[in-house]
Structure 1
Amino acid sequence: MSLTVTNLLRLLRVQREDENVFKGWSPVEGAKRIYGGQMLAQSIMAMGQTVRDSHLLHSMQGYFLQPGDVTREITFEVRRVREGRNFSTRLLLAFQDGTPIFSGAASFQAPEGEHERFAPMPPVASPQDMESEEAFYASERHLLENCRSHIPLIMSLFERRSELWRSWLNPGARPPVNGIWCRLRAPCGDDPLLCQALMAYISDLDLMNTAMRPRGYGSLDKSTRAASLDHAMWFHAPAQPDRWFYYDLNGPCATNNRGLGCGALYQDGRLISTAVQEGLLRTRSPDSFSR
């Protein structure tokens, strides 16, 4: 599968096999493990297809149970645990060859009430005034040639700009803060559920990396192994991933090789979503890592 936005949108629209069962696949280029953001996004799409159109996603959470294999089909099984007039709740398990690799839950609500309040975006430079990901990493791009990483996938799908880029290999210790302008490289339409799935997709990449910045390891450091453990997300207002949005990140704590990352996503100057994730970062010998 070519790493294009068109293929990403096709990949996220999981195939319905039964009333509550869906099938999904992964791009096989790059990393052997399924990208966590893909699991989040496909799970949102599966759960959302079992909910009436008037109920919109407002929160979801998930646990990454086992590393998924990009070469194998994914089965998503949805359980309808609440079907209320105003709220619907869904549980989900994702399997590969009968083994659970991800568990998720989501809540959907029919719009109600007139009061609205959104935290304003922090004062930052415009995306045009920040350095692009491609420009900053031009001298390190060769590191991706023989490296199984999700980085090339994200770079092909999203344009991103920041003042806080750091080396993939030897960044040194940095404060646990980050901020990135992002937008999808091609139009995605205005389906609310798909747009939310895309926001979940991109939100996964930088949360744990931000929390672990004080440890000083780069994303492509071969002496480390990292894994997302869990992810929660709240959706406050409609989002359009193919227009610029700002991802403001910080990592308030780290302990027992785990780091907690918190992110706020802003578009048109207002808060549209909040994401929180805990991840694991171990230094290890090549054969000693297990979750």
Structure 2
Amino acid sequence: MTEAVEKLLHILDLERIEENLFRGISPDQSWQRVFGGQVIAQALVATQRTVPADRHCHSLHSYFMRPGDPAAPIIYDVDRIRDGGSFTTRRVVAIQHGHAIFSLSASFQKDEDGHDHQVSMPDVPGPDDLPHGDGLKETILKRAPEPVRRYWLRPRPIEFRPVSFDHYLTRDKLEPVQQVWVRCASPIGDDRDLNAAVLAYLSDMTLLDTSLFAHGLSVFDERIQAASLDHAMWFHRPVKVSDWMLYSQDSPSSAGARGLTRGSLFARDGTLVASVAQEGLIRPRRAASA
């Protein structure tokens, strides 16, 4: 297991400090703010630890309210809203320095049989056919801006292989569609709840970028201020995040300094495992006054 994956699993193993209170930490205190996917995943873990083992999260809806401080612990306060015959509902608020920075509502369900259908996975090159490792470094990233190279080359618990890097290499306005192969960088076992938490963690990556394609921008562009505002996720079927998944994304709209992006996560065999929707701030930076 890579060191980055070990750090991820460590921060997802929350400390229980009371019946419905949990404490989480951040892996790197040098960051300016806590990564949104970390808070989503930790909040999901906090709710998971208050529900029966035979109930699993089928949906979550969350809002980011304040930037998280990586140097301070995050307290997760879980409200046990309802325990029904088939469904369980939880709400959790993440707190730092006496203020709420994030809230999440999650619904859990016992496994049931029922109607089953799904959309088809897009037909794109597989992860083994895409540049990666030294090949990526010596070809595509060699032509990319320095912030892009730093981001893609640093160690992380999630491995990405985008089908296209065009939006990093040009300022042309592109179709707001993105296909990215993703997986956890090391095996983490078969625990269903842990796999769901890691899936929630990675679901916040690359998503906001897609809403900028139509404007010839990326999240690394100094001309914009970008941040996640909300995040919703539906877990359709169990998943193993250590196997390759296709994260298929599109952005149907941007307006009011906000961009909306939708995502579908497919297992490599084409099984749709989760759907995601997120609205993010994509505010043009105002020029400093003379």
* Fold-level similarity (TM above 0.5): yes
Partner of 1:14: 14
Offset at residue 162 of structure 1 (A): 2.2
Is 1:143 paired with 2:144? no
1:220 to 1:30, Cα distance in 2 relative to 1, 3 A: farther
Q: Distance in 2 between matches of 1:241 and 1:17?
A: 29
What is the identity, as a one-letter code, of the residue corresponding to 1:63? Y
Offset at residue 285 of structure 1 (A): 4.2
Partner of 1:273: 274
User: Any gaps of 5 or more consecutive residues in structure 1?
Assistant: none
Offset at residue 246 of structure 1 (A): 0.4
SS at structure 2 position matched to 1:17: strand
**Comparing 170-179 and 96-105, the one that deviates more:** 170-179
Q: Distance in 1 between matches of 2:10 and 2:288?
A: 35
Offset at residue 286 of structure 1 (A): 7.7
**Identity in percent:** 36
* Aligned residue runs from structure 1 range 48-197, under 5 A: 48-132=48-132, 134-135=136-137, 136-140=140-144, 142-143=146-147, 156-166=156-166, 168=168, 171-197=171-197
Offset at residue 168 of structure 1 (A): 4.2
**What TM-score results when the alignment is normalised by the length of structure 1?**
0.90
What is the RMSD of the two structures over their aligned residues, measured on CA atoms? 2.3
1:243 to 1:7, Cα distance in 2 relative to 1, 3 A: same
User: Any gaps of 5 or more consecutive residues in structure 2?
Assistant: none
> After TM superposition, where is structure 1 displaced by more than 6 Å over at least 4 residues in a row?
none
What is the identity, as a one-letter code, of the residue corresponding to 1:8? L
Cα deviations by residue, 1:196-216 (Å, 9 ceiling, x for unpaired): 111111111222210121111
Q: Distance in 2 between matches of 1:36 and 1:286?
A: 27
Q: Distance in 2 between matches of 1:169 and 1:66?
A: 32
Offset at residue 188 of structure 1 (A): 1.1
1:163 to 1:51, Cα distance in 2 relative to 1, 3 A: same
What is the identity, as a one-letter code, of the residue corresponding to 1:281? I
Q: Distance in 2 between matches of 1:274 and 1:37?
A: 15
| Contact 2:30 2:70 (C-alpha < 8 Å) held by counterparts | no
**What TM-score results when the alignment is normalised by the length of structure 2?**
0.90
1:99 to 1:169, Cα distance in 2 relative to 1, 3 A: farther
| Contact 1:168 1:219 (C-alpha < 8 Å) held by counterparts | no
What is the identity, as a one-letter code, of the residue corresponding to 1:263? G
1:177 to 1:144, Cα distance in 2 relative to 1, 3 A: closer
| Contact 1:169 1:220 (C-alpha < 8 Å) held by counterparts | no
Cα deviations by residue, 1:261-284 (Å, 9 ceiling, x for unpaired): 000000021111000000011121
